[in-house]
Structure 1
């Protein structure tokens, strides 16, 4: 599945807590900025392979002032016209944790 992430937006499946991200892509390089909910600001940088799988590093600053860093591998899947990413993530340092999240593409036009 060849995917161009440039210009796509994602949020937690089902809407989540209001965090949304806007992706950019040039060649295999992918990056995004995200914010909303409990996240004041976050960034993602990584690569995309020929199957659309993303290997990413991320940092974020929460509204509490905590700084979080980690990495994830996001595997795409089509659900109808929308794209869903299965995100296997890990956080580093004092906030160390692992988990699986799902991100859905935001396809509606913002008003």
Structure 2
């Protein structure tokens, strides 16, 4: 497996509403926690294949109290040197929906002090 997600941070392409996720990885197991914007708390857990494709289940609680659950498949792509995940997702239950989202890696600036 050449692409590791461990320690990488992602947010919606273009900044979104401020929510971001920090991924962890051990072998092919991948997980992340996310919050910010309209998301009070969210998690994803799943697997990563040899090509870096993520298959994840997710849950989140939104600011209005809605509880959302679903699954996604995220395919890594490189855009101008930035790692972008093309995320095909499906939500279950009363908030059922499907769609495609794009997540961009956020590289933290190193402090010079």
TM value normalised by structure 2: 0.94
CA 1:100–1:49: 2 relative to 1, 3 Å: same
Q: Whose radius of gyration is greater, 1 or 2?
A: 2
Number of aligned pairs?
Answer: 111
Equivalent in the alignment of 1:27: 27
Q: Deviations over 1:44-69 (max 9, x none)?
A: 00000000000000000001011000
| 1:1-111 map, 5 Å | 2-109=2-109
Structure 2, unmatched stretches of 5+, are none
Deviating beyond 3 angstroms after TM superposition, the runs of 4 or more aligned structure 1 residues are none
Structure 1, unmatched stretches of 5+, are none
Deviation at 1:109, TM superposition (A): 2.5
Aligned-residue RMSD, C-alpha: 1.4
Deviation at 1:78, TM superposition (A): 1.1
Distance in 2, Cα, partners of 1:65 & 1:19: 16
TM value normalised by structure 1: 0.96
